[in-house]
A and B are shown apart, each in its own frame.
Chain A
């Protein structure tokens, strides 16, 4: 069974710190990896995606992928209270088909 695991949290960090969110996946054939942010009562919004091993940076966000360890992470630099949300990791086997979502990690950034 294909699984995506995330620590449910809550992960609490002070404002200005780096928040590190982690995700592991079970299927070695996974090719595409996504991070979504979901505010309470809202639908998920795409933050970024990564396909290749290594780091991918977009503003304050950096996604890190290690396919050998089946591990993908999201770093948020200079965390802001507005970053407080649930972060969903999602994985897909190929270029088509549905995403497999983790249960999400709740992040709380304290002012």
Chain B
């Protein structure tokens, strides 16, 4: 149990385009999902906390207009990177809360050319 999926696993896009990443809890309902970003050889950085049916809470320094989060159902949260630039290239990982633990998705690697 407690499986979290992400789609796509890899994205390569041109600068200026928008990219949508989906995070799904496959066998449970998650009222809260979390979005992280990890640059090479660096630690996990929380970007935002997503609650079903309400606006996401963004961490300091994360632009909410650039990283749009939608948590429309108890099993799906999406992160849209708008007008992506090369500096947005990173490993984006979602996690979902179950009881008092968090389970991570496999991550989405984004490369912006």
Contact = CB atoms under 8 A, between A and B. Distances in A.
Nearest to B6: A43
Contact of B43 (A34, A51, A98, A103): A103
Interface string B39-81: 0000110100100000000000000000000000000000000
A104 B43 contact: yes
Nearest to A95: B100
A9 interface: no
B107 A42 contact: yes
Contacts of B91: 43
Interface residues of A, number: 22
A25 interface: no
Interface string A41-84: 01111100101000000000000000000000000000000000
B92 to A, nearest CB: 10
B23 to A, nearest CB: 11
B102 interface: yes
Interface of B: 32, 34, 43-44, 46, 49, 91, 93, 97, 100-107
Given A42-B107, A43-B93, A51-B100, 12 more contacts: A43-B91, A43-B105, A44-B44, A44-B104, A46-B103, A49-B100, A88-B44, A95-B100, A96-B32, A96-B97, A97-B49, A104-B44
Which 10 A-B residue pairings sit nearest by Cβ, starting from the closest?
A103-B43, A43-B107, A43-B104, A43-B93, A44-B104, A101-B44, A43-B106, A32-B100, A95-B100, A98-B49
